[in-house]
Amino acid sequence: MSKLNDLLVRWAVPARWVAIVGGLAVMAAAFLPWAYRPEALDDVTYYGEPSLLQWLGFALGLIIVACLALGPFVAAKAPARLRRLLNFNRGAKTAAVASLVYQALAAASAALELGGLVALEPGAWVGVAGAALAAVATRALPAGADPRLRWLKTPSWVQILGIVVVLALVLAAAAYGLGLEDPGAFVTFAAFAGLAVWVAAALGVMGWVSAAAQANRSALVLAAFVVAFVFPFTQDGSDANMSIAAGVLIFAATAMGLNIVVGLAGLLDLGYIAFLGAGAFTAATLSESAFATIGWHPPFPVVMLIAGCVSAILGLIIGSPTLRVSGDYLAIVTLAFGEIFRITMNNLDGTDGPNITRGSNGIPAIPNLNLFGFDFGESHTILGFEIGRFANYYWLLLLVMGLIITVFVNLNKSRIGRGWVAIREDERAAEAMGVNVFGLKLLAFAGGAFLAGVAGSVKAHVDVSVTPDQYIFMESAFLVAGIVLGGMGTVGGVLVGAAILKLLPEKLRFFEDYRLLLFGLLLIVMMRFRPEGLLPDQRRQLEFHADDEELAEEADEAPPGLATAAPAASGEGKA
All domains of the chain in start order, with CATH: 1-145 (1.20.140), 235-356+389-522 (1.10.3470)
Distance CA 336, CA 334 (A): 5
pLDDT of residue 555: 47
CA atoms within 13 A on the CB side of 258: 34
pLDDT of residue 12: 64
Question: What backbone torsions phi and psi does residue 365 show, to the nearest 5 degrees?
Answer: 55, 40
pLDDT of residue 572: 37
Angle at alpha carbon of residue 496, lines to 202 and 391, rounded to 5°? 130
Residue 88, strand partner residues: none
pLDDT of residue 75: 59
Residues 6+ apart with CB under 8 A from 207: 147, 148, 149, 150, 201, 565, 569, 570, 572, 573
Distance CA 144, CA 147 (A): 9
CA atoms within 13 A on the CB side of 501: 31
Instruction: Please give the full DSSP string across 317-351, using - where no structure is assigned.
Output: HHHHHHTTS-THHHHHHHHHHHHHHHHHHHH-BSS
pLDDT tens, residue by residue, 377-402: 777 777 777 777 888 888 888 888 88
pLDDT of residue 79: 62
pLDDT tens, residue by residue, 248-298: 889 888 888 888 888 888 888 888 888 999 999 999 898 888 887 787 888
pLDDT of residue 186: 86
Residues 6+ apart with CB under 8 A from 120: 34, 35, 36, 107, 110, 111
Distance CA 74, CA 409 (A): 42
Residues 6+ apart with CB under 8 A from 403: none
Of the candidates 486, 494, 477, the residue with the CA atom closest to the CA atom of residue 334: 477
pLDDT of residue 512: 65
- Which pairing describes strands 385-387 and 370-371: parallel, antiparallel, or unpaired? unpaired
Of the candidates 55, 34, 56, the residue with the CA atom closest to the CA atom of residue 46: 34
Distance CA 325, CA 320 (A): 10
Distance CA 136, CA 301 (A): 60
Which region holds residue 464: left if phi is over 0, alpha if psi is between -120 and 50, else beta?
Answer: left
**Whole-model pTM?**
0.81
pLDDT of residue 98: 92
182, 109 contact by CB (below 8 A): no
Spans of the chain, pLDDT less than 70: 1-12, 72-85, 143-146, 237, 510-513, 537-575
